[in-house]
Amino acid sequence: MENKLETEIDKIKARNARVELDKKWETSWTRRLCICVLTYIVVVIYSFTIQQVSNIFLSSLVPVIGFTLSTLSLKFVRKIWEKRIKK
């Protein structure tokens, strides 16, 4: 019984540590800067690509692509950030 209780407490502590790290990541300047830079890169590439095309459907893709790329690549950046934070 006591061993089971200790195991549950350890699980709760591990979960709390993950939640705290998630909160730090969500408010970190690293995350914000990466989103800004990646969105900017997508807009620059998009601007060079369309030049004189004025298609609303194509224009609407810019924020979607920027956001999607930032969320996909931020996992990699987050792992690096977490290693730095844990030191």
Structural domain that includes position 15: 2-86
Contact 40, 59 (CB under 8 A): no
pLDDT digits (tens, 9 = 90+) for 49-59: 776 656 666 77
Does pTM top 0.85 for this prediction?
A: no
The domain total for the chain is 1
Instruction: Say which amino acid occupies 43.
Output: V
CA 8 remoteness from chain centre: 30
Instruction: Say which amino acid occupies 74.
Output: L
Instruction: Say which amino acid occupies 19.
Output: V
Per-residue pLDDT at 33 exceeds 80: yes
pLDDT digits (tens, 9 = 90+) for 71-87: 777 778 888 888 888 76
Say what the pLDDT of residue 16 is: 94
